[in-house]
């Protein structure tokens, strides 16, 4: 369904709110908080149709309205994860367990190879410029794995970077930021930050050092390798969700948690689920919600149901 969606943000802190009216004209308020790695649904409130969305946001939540947009909600892209898709992930993303295991194994190999390098080279300002045969090997492996991840989506002719760029029409990869964990030197990677307007320098370095090692050997740097490995982590999250990376207890998940701090900026590039409210017998006369500032919203539904996503 296409409806007007209101995006609001807390005056202090990282909390945000998404509000809209469903097909039953019920105002739906989705309270979003930033979890360990991504924005996530914290709570749902579905109020009486007579409630004003703007007044509830300003007076009860005391959030600031940032924007209003006409959006088709309750839809998702095929096999692409975005924040707020938290329910039935395996089914919604059509995940095959064997493909998932293979993807985790491949990602584990990349991270282990990176950890081997980091035993000898510190990711400091000078260390990031270090280059060598092991780094060239890692850069080529990471970028070829990344190409396989892009090819899954059959973008354009599916042959080169300019084809893979079509994925930006579907998901905003620049919102992913990955930092090295447990290092005194702060290093943060955002490998797709400038892809919309420019080429990817680390991917360009991969092509040059692969085809012309003698002249471009010095491009196989630690920094380019870090960006390439981080790009693979991002594409894993896009295909399988960060929940299947961070909330599991396997070799790959442990490697990622121990090596990287993955963050997705809180933004409007999310899937907005459709919720419908109802009152059970116990709540037949309407529930009330009291906010910390003392404002009370009456006739709130005491049960809500999320409708399945449909594909765009």
Q: Given this model, what pLDDT does residue 56 score?
A: 97
Q: How far apart are CA 229 and CA 191, in angstroms?
A: 9
Mean pLDDT of each 10-residue bin along the chain, 312 residues long: 94 89 96 86 95 96 95 96 94 96 98 96 94 97 98 93 94 94 84 90 96 93 97 98 92 94 85 93 74 94 93 90
Indicate whether 131 and 257 sit together in one domain. yes
CA atoms within 13 A on the CB side of 236: 28
Q: How far is CA 271 from the centre of its chain?
A: 11
Q: Given this model, what pLDDT does residue 282 score?
A: 66
The string of pLDDT tens digits covering residues 117-174 is 999 999 999 999 999 999 999 999 999 999 999 999 999 999 999 999 999 999 999 9
Indicate whether 199 and 285 sit together in one domain. no
Residue 182 lies in a domain: yes
Q: How far is CA 121 from the centre of its chain?
A: 30
Q: Given this model, what pLDDT does residue 286 score?
A: 65
Residue 82 lies in a domain: no
Residue 81 lies in a domain: no
Query: What total of structural domains would you count in the chain?
Result: 2
Indicate whether 166 and 230 sit together in one domain. yes
Indicate whether 255 and 279 sit together in one domain. no
Residue 240 lies in a domain: yes
Residue 83 lies in a domain: no
Q: Given this model, what pLDDT does residue 138 score?
A: 98
Indicate whether 303 and 235 sit together in one domain. no
**Residue with structure tokens 């920094």?**
223
Range of 205's domain?
89-264
Indicate whether 278 and 207 sit together in one domain. no
Q: Given this model, what pLDDT does residue 196 score?
A: 87
Indicate whether 138 and 247 sit together in one domain. yes
Model pTM score: 0.93
The stretches of the chain forming alpha helices (DSSP H) are 53-55, 89-92, 97-118, 133-151, 161-164, 201-211, 213-216, 222-240, 243-246, 251-259
Are 266 and 39 contacting, i.e. CB atoms less than 8 angstroms apart?
yes
Residue 84 lies in a domain: no
Indicate whether 67 and 129 sit together in one domain. no
Q: Given this model, what pLDDT does residue 199 score?
A: 87
Q: Given this model, what pLDDT does residue 284 score?
A: 57
Indicate whether 248 and 218 sit together in one domain. yes
Indicate whether 20 and 117 sit together in one domain. no
Residue 200 lies in a domain: yes
Q: How far is CA 97 from CA 91, 102, 240, in A?
A: 11, 9, 10
In terms of phi and psi (left: phi > 0; alpha: psi -120 to 50; beta: otherwise), the region of 300 is beta
Indicate whether 115 and 195 sit together in one domain. yes
Q: At what angle do helices 251-259 and 97-118 cross, to 10 degrees?
A: 40
Indicate whether 101 and 63 sit together in one domain. no
């Amino acid at each position: 369904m296409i409806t007007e969606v209101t995006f609001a943000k807390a005056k202090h802190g990282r909390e945000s709110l998404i509000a809209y009216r469903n097909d039953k004209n019920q105002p739906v308020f989705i309270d979003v908080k930033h979890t360990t790695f991504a924005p996530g649904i914290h709570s749902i409130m579905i109020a009486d149709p007579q409630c004003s969305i703007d007044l509830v946001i300003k007076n009860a939540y005391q959030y600031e309205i940032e924007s209003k947009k006409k959006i088709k909600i309750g839809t998702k892209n095929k096999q692409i994860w975005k924040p707020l898709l938290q329910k039935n992930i395996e089914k919604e993303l059509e995940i095959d367990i064997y493909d998932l295991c293979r993807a985790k194994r491949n990602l584990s190999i990349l991270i282990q190879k990176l950890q081997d390098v980091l035993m000898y080279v510190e990711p400091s300002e000078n260390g990031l410029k270090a280059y060598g045969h092991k780094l060239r090997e890692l850069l080529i492996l990471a970028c070829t794995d990344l190409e396989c991840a892009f090819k899954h989506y059959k973008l354009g002719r599916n042959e080169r970077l300019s084809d893979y760029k079509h994925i930006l029409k579907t998901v905003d990869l620049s919102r992913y930021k990955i930092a090295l964990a447990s290092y005194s030197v702060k290093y943060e990677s955002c490998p797709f930050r400038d892809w919309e307007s420019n080429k990817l320098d680390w991917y360009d370095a991969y092509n040059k050092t692969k085809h012309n090692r003698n002249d471009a050997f010095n491009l196989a740097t630690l920094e380019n390798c870090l960006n390439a490995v981080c790009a693979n982590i991002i594409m894993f999250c896009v295909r399988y969700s960060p929940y299947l990376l961070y909330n599991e207890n396997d070799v790959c998940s442990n490697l990622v948690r121990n090596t990287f701090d993955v963050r997705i900026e809180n933004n409007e590039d999310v899937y907005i689920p459709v919720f419908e409210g109802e009152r059970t017998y116990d709540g037949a006369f309407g529930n009330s919600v009291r906010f910390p500032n003392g404002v009370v919203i009456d006739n709130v539904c005491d049960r809500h149901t999320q409708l399945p996503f449909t594909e765009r």
